Structure 1
Amino acid sequence: MTNAPITTAAGTGLLLDKVALITGAGRGIGAAAARLFAREGARVLLAARTGPQLAAVAQEIRAAGGTADHVVCDLADPASVRAAVERAVDRFGRLDVAFNNGATGQPPGPMDELSEADFDQVCAVNLKGPWLAMNAEIAAIRATAGRGAVVNTSSVGSLMANPQLPAYGATKGALNSLTASAAATYGPEGIRVNAVAPGTTLTEMLQEWDARSPGIIDQLNARTPLGRAADPEEIAQAAAWLLSDRASYVTGTVLRVDGGMLA
């Protein structure tokens, strides 16, 4: 018997009155975060490449009484990233917090079988994208709210060998380093920077991996003490806490949310 995921329907005001930007918000962890942050009192700007998905999630949030808008954003395009941050400030007057969750996967397999084009794309989205986003977000926080927080989505695969997703794991490992450097750089200004490192999480990206490598979810669950994959909202809950004032003395941390996989 395994423990079931816990989800909450009502918010507690964890992010009350904060303006939040969420990348990769059209599906998976990002969409769950958008819904959760809005329930917790934030005004949210959703960003991703997929306009129809973003519009649907934003409409769902508004229908539930939340405040949300969306903007199409390509993390591999510097101008697009900067425009998304500017849109948050234009729409809501400031930026308090940001959740850099957008990412791309890679075809699973040994590193020597990955094409150079695929490697470059993973690096552009998963490493350069958050770097661009953090630079723009920190500038916006500094210019408007003055103090704030950023959370990047890493991966438990960044903390161990990742032979089936080597480029993905490498970019997330580099993101951990970038997160720590940003925390040390901007901490004196009152801007905290952390990362969450999800374990096996029931996102579309994971389902796509399982379709290419049948049985991979069962294999990962067998290595997880809790014996199951996470619901996307369980990762979003960790990000919400890190972004909230309740985590006011936490910065430079990569928080594993992995069901004990690396325990």
Structure 2
Amino acid sequence: MASTIPSLFSLSGKTAIVTGGTRGIGQAMAIGLAEAGADIILVQRDESNTKTRDEIVNRIGRKAIIHVAELSDRAAVKEIIPSVVKQGWKPDILVNCAGIQRRHPSEKFPDEDWDDVINVNLTSVFTLSREFGAYLLSRDASEFPTGRRGSVINVASLLSFQGGFTVPAYAASKGGIAQLTKALSNEWMAKGINVNAIAPGYIDTDMNAALINDPNRYHSITSRIPAGRWGKPEDFKGVVIFLASDASAYVSGEIITVDGGWMGR
């Protein structure tokens, strides 16, 4: 029995594609997946930041490469799966973590910022998930003796449930991620592809710098979090490994909040 539980969470022999893996939550997720045994394909807009790849290769000892693609470019996103497959990779896991933020009062929100946020945070997630799902479904069923072909893990937000302030595009994109996760799960779970999402709460990352640097907002938010602190990127290692592994074989269409208890208050 002792060896059964670790094997449920093992990702040995698996390959994960991770967007947004250069820093913050995405970086912690990529490293966590590698620590659980997976090889990693990091989708980045350029190769200037090699920190995540280098840590995976040098410290953890897993394979890792950087695939360059601009997520706001639909054609580039569509080429990610064919390109890595042509190189001999067989991805089993897709983590859609990349995201951008724009803040303006809604009555002044610029068209270009709306388009940028929706394209990166929602459209690219659908496009890459569609291509990944099609790839998994094209493979012979004999390659998957347990019936599980792979898993898609999207990164949602508390704003999948709440509206926020001065971030209408971000809220719309993350509400869309929640519904996209459910829609894809409805079609793909019976075909062996689990689709879930992780909704981070208030996390100490660069994306939240505006809130962290506003003393009033920072203390107001912190006082409402039952855990009494903001989250850290490392808080996401366990949940992403769970959703990527056989431990979550009967879990799909879920949005798991990692928020220090915020949504329960």
Structure 1 vs Structure 2: percent identity of aligned residues? Answer: 31
Question: Secondary structure of 1:76's match?
Answer: coil
Aligned to 1:3: none
Output the CA distance in 2 between the equivalents of 1:19 and 1:48.
17
Aligned to 1:138: 133
Aligned to 1:22: 18
For 1:7-156, list aligned pairs within 5 A: 14-53=10-49, 55-64=50-59, 65-107=61-103, 109-144=104-139, 147-156=149-158
Contact 2:9/2:245, CA 8 A, preserved across alignment = no
Aligned to 1:245: 246
Contact 2:226/2:261, CA 8 A, preserved across alignment = yes
Q: Does 1:257 align with 2:252?
A: no
Question: CA 1:224 to 1:168, structure 2 compared with 1: closer, same or farther past 3 Å?
Answer: same
Output the CA distance in 2 between the equivalents of 1:231 and 1:214.
19
CA deviations 1:199-248 (Å, max 9, x no partner) are: 0112111125534x454333322211001111112123212211111000
When Rg is computed on C-alpha atoms for both structures, the one with the higher figure is 2
Aligned residue identity for 1:114: F
CA deviations 1:97-130 (Å, max 9, x no partner) are: 11000111112x4311211111111111111010
Output the CA distance in 2 between the equivalents of 1:87 and 1:43.
16
Question: Secondary structure of 1:262's match?
Answer: helix
Question: Secondary structure of 2:262's match?
Answer: coil
Question: CA 1:47 to 1:216, structure 2 compared with 1: closer, same or farther past 3 Å?
Answer: farther
Question: CA 1:169 to 1:30, structure 2 compared with 1: closer, same or farther past 3 Å?
Answer: same
Question: CA 1:35 to 1:164, structure 2 compared with 1: closer, same or farther past 3 Å?
Answer: same
Query: Normalising by the residue count of structure 2, what TM-score does the alignment of the two structures yield?
Result: 0.88
Show structure 2 runs of 5+ residues with no match: 1-6
Which is worse superposed, 123-132 or 200-209? Answer: 200-209
Aligned to 1:175: 177
Output the CA distance in 1 between the equivalents of 2:132 and 2:17.
9
Contact 1:30/1:236, CA 8 A, preserved across alignment = no
Aligned to 1:164: 166
Question: Secondary structure of 1:52's match?
Answer: coil
Following superposition, the deviation at residue 66 of structure 1 comes to: 1.8
CA RMSD after TM alignment: 1.9
Question: Secondary structure of 1:102's match?
Answer: coil
Following superposition, the deviation at residue 51 of structure 1 comes to: 1.9
Aligned to 2:222: 221
Question: Secondary structure of 2:230's match?
Answer: coil
Contact 1:148/1:192, CA 8 A, preserved across alignment = yes
Query: Normalising by the residue count of structure 1, what TM-score does the alignment of the two structures yield?
Result: 0.89
Contact 1:48/1:102, CA 8 A, preserved across alignment = no
Contact 1:81/1:133, CA 8 A, preserved across alignment = yes
Which is worse superposed, 227-236 or 138-147? Answer: 138-147
Contact 2:92/2:150, CA 8 A, preserved across alignment = yes
Question: Secondary structure of 2:79's match?
Answer: helix
Contact 1:95/1:140, CA 8 A, preserved across alignment = no
Contact 1:149/1:193, CA 8 A, preserved across alignment = yes
Output the CA distance in 1 between the equivalents of 2:79 and 2:241.
24
Show structure 1 runs of 5+ residues with no match: 1-10
Paired residue total: 250
Output the CA distance in 1 between the equivalents of 2:215 and 2:67.
35
Following superposition, the deviation at residue 12 of structure 1 comes to: 9.4
Following superposition, the deviation at residue 142 of structure 1 comes to: 2.1
Output the CA distance in 1 between the equivalents of 2:83 and 2:58.
22
Contact 1:149/1:243, CA 8 A, preserved across alignment = yes
Following superposition, the deviation at residue 141 of structure 1 comes to: 2.0
CA deviations 1:150-181 (Å, max 9, x no partner) are: 00000012211212322211110011101100
